[in-house]
Structure 1
């Protein structure tokens, strides 16, 4: 992808004239015409309808221009942040990201930010380390200010570099979506949707939705990413994933993301089917005294509920086992008399198989909204829109 050619397409679509676009990008009219022709060949699409009165974007041309506008908006925001980070009495550098950056430079810098090192970035891209290093440093030179620093484990992004990298990564994502937009406009739903999911949604809801979507769009691909909430939120804000599923924070944890509720979930205290407390028809918090527990890490909403129970006088048996891994939690529950606070939607299959049971103990504050988190300025593909619609249609059940 030649970003200078894309700039020519954007200005032509915006101005309705190749000659005016040539003036805007400081190029000749033949150069702009060749740039448009080059992208039309690359995308196998007619981007403009040429008339005596000017050049007007086709529906496919509008798709390309709209994604391109978003790309350069992200780069303009990166430039703004570079300038804002400088002291007022500092001579302003010449920032040339939006005007001069190449696709290879953007790709190398954004991939370094995502991977964390030049070696890992080179491995992801299938390129040599020197090639990736050279392109990423060229991006830094266009920024006109240092974006890297020597860390304890090698070269790393400095604070400004990490901020700029987020915008660069979002710009890269817009490039990657251009071809998917064009395919979908032709009725070909065959792109990739990357979903970050916390355990609650991975256990039952997400498999149900992906099964339905795969039947509807057999050529589409899906990638499910696991991790801590913090790492998944970072990946969302970087454009590495398209949507994040799980319990909502309300309000959203960052200004550049928004939350959308799918359903309200209720937490339960869960034990193995043969646990001594399972056969009791009713239980109170006092009946749990002396129990041993599996809990998530401190600072999570579920852990907060558990800590409230402790402050109300509940005593512990064995020391806590802390884990956010559902596979580990499941195994610990099945192999011991420990208890855990989780959603019954996470144990749908285990309850059906008679392996785990929810105890009849009321929990104060156990209800929480669950849904999806996306970027505020997200422009979803058709596949992504279908995913969100299917999520809404598939979450009206009772666990």
Structure 2
């Protein structure tokens, strides 16, 4: 990231639009030799010619068109946010200053921000101060909790994060153009996807793209959603939210899933039929944590019938930990039927037949509204969809809950 230069990007976009270095120089208020130097540096960095130079003007090459599409998206977003803070920032702001601004917005402390960036604290302080001076407004307010970003500062930091993500996508696009494997895919994996979708999708993707980097994040949905919106995560796979959590993400349904009740093979309820709900309420449970759709369904099962919630609950979203707990105790478990299939098939857990008709839960993809995947990311998405199409629907009849 540090090898990029925002001024070079602006010069490149001006030449792409005007097809004239001299006209671009006038627009960008730099000399024509500076334009030539910027283009030469970009072409060296990006691995080849971005323009075909003719007497009629400068015309984008195929490589240049790929690069221009990404950079224009990034700079349009970034310059709009910079202009909202102060118009002159579209000329003066640098990439290193914006990186410092992002780090401070997240850390709320110059020392922590500097540690995150691997820089000296005075360097980060100076970069943030330069942006504040250029904007002629306070961007951080000192509070007892630290230096808190103002709303315009937060909007600028978000725009900068997403612009930086586009810069990285541009490098992936150009690598694809050159027949190289570069870039990466970052997946936020909710519990069901880790056992039902991702293993097969990743195995297929690895067979086709053995050197392409893939990173998997797990954790609470809210944390992954924040990472998605920042551009740190490309997509989330798992239970969809209703209503949509925020307007800048989009959801795509892949299949429906239902909950099931589990027990260890030696549990007293194993093998019984149509167990009453009040009897289930007297048992201890292993269930997903509060705040996730599966837990809301579990709680509603009792509350909607006027029954108190079980008073012995372990919160756990891992089928592996649930399996071990159920095999060591008389606890019951409630989890996705799809997640449980492999454990039941191996005889490690048994499905408790209760007569409950669970409502379906939509499982799918969550992405940013305006996300444009690279070719490798698009391939991975197609493989995820293909795997999901092969998943048999979970049975919802009362006898097989």
What TM-score, normalized to structure 1? 0.89
Provide closer, same or farther for how the CA distance between residues 151 and 331 of structure 1 changes in structure 2, counting only shifts above 3 A: farther
Deviation larger for 140-149 or 303-312: 140-149
State the Cα distance separating 1:26 from its structure 2 match. Answer: 1.4
State the Cα distance separating 1:326 from its structure 2 match. Answer: 5.4
The answer for unaligned runs of 5 or more in structure 2 is 395-401
Deviations 1:207-246, CA, capped at 9 Å, x for gaps: 2211211121111111111221111111111111111111
Aligned partners of 2:382 and 2:231: how far apart in 1? 21
Pairing partner for 1:373 from 342, 366, 373: 366
Deviations 1:44-79, CA, capped at 9 Å, x for gaps: 210000111110111111122222111222223424
Question: 1:366 is paired with a residue of what secondary structure?
Answer: coil
Q: Does 1:255 align with 2:247?
A: yes
Provide closer, same or farther for how the CA distance between residues 397 and 19 of structure 1 changes in structure 2, counting only shifts above 3 A: same
CA contact (8 A) 2:52 2:58 kept: yes
Aligned partners of 1:388 and 1:118: how far apart in 2? 39
CA RMSD of aligned residues (A): 2.4
Question: 1:167 is paired with a residue of what secondary structure?
Answer: helix
Q: Does 1:8 align with 2:2?
A: no
Provide closer, same or farther for how the CA distance between residues 282 and 43 of structure 1 changes in structure 2, counting only shifts above 3 A: same
Q: Does 1:336 align with 2:329?
A: yes
Pairing partner for 1:74 from 65, 74, 77: 77
Question: 1:131 is paired with a residue of what secondary structure?
Answer: helix
Deviations 1:273-312, CA, capped at 9 Å, x for gaps: 3222221244443442412123334443222212222221
Alignment coverage as a number of residue pairs: 388
CA contact (8 A) 1:47 1:61 kept: yes
State the Cα distance separating 1:9 from its structure 2 match. Answer: 0.6
Q: Which residue of 2 aligns with 1:350?
A: 343
Q: Which residue of 2 aligns with 1:48?
A: 51
Aligned partners of 1:69 and 1:3: how far apart in 2? 12
State the Cα distance separating 1:185 from its structure 2 match. Answer: 1.1
Aligned partners of 1:265 and 1:141: how far apart in 2? 54
Q: Which residue of 2 aligns with 1:26?
A: 29
Matches within 5 A, 1:113-128: 113-114=105-106, 117-128=109-120
Question: 1:274 is paired with a residue of what secondary structure?
Answer: coil
CA contact (8 A) 1:292 1:317 kept: yes
Q: Does 1:227 align with 2:219?
A: yes
The answer for unaligned runs of 5 or more in structure 1 is 83-93
Aligned partners of 2:5 and 2:205: how far apart in 1? 34
CA contact (8 A) 1:294 1:321 kept: yes
Aligned partners of 2:271 and 2:332: how far apart in 1? 15
Provide closer, same or farther for how the CA distance between residues 361 and 208 of structure 1 changes in structure 2, counting only shifts above 3 A: same
Provide closer, same or farther for how the CA distance between residues 248 and 13 of structure 1 changes in structure 2, counting only shifts above 3 A: same
Q: Which residue of 1 aligns with 2:398?
A: none
CA contact (8 A) 2:299 2:309 kept: no
Q: Which residue of 2 aligns with 1:148?
A: 140
Deviations 1:145-188, CA, capped at 9 Å, x for gaps: 32222243433323443232211111111122221111011122
Deviations 1:106-128, CA, capped at 9 Å, x for gaps: 22222444556544443443333
Matches within 5 A, 1:1-399: 1-79=4-82, 82=85, 94-114=86-106, 117-311=109-303, 312-314=305-307, 318-324=311-317, 328-395=321-388, 396-398=390-392
Deviation larger for 371-380 or 326-335: 326-335
CA contact (8 A) 2:319 2:340 kept: no
CA contact (8 A) 1:10 1:69 kept: yes
CA contact (8 A) 1:109 1:168 kept: no
Q: Which residue of 1 aligns with 2:399?
A: none
CA contact (8 A) 2:288 2:335 kept: no
Question: 1:261 is paired with a residue of what secondary structure?
Answer: strand
Runs of 4+, deviation exceeding 6 Å = none
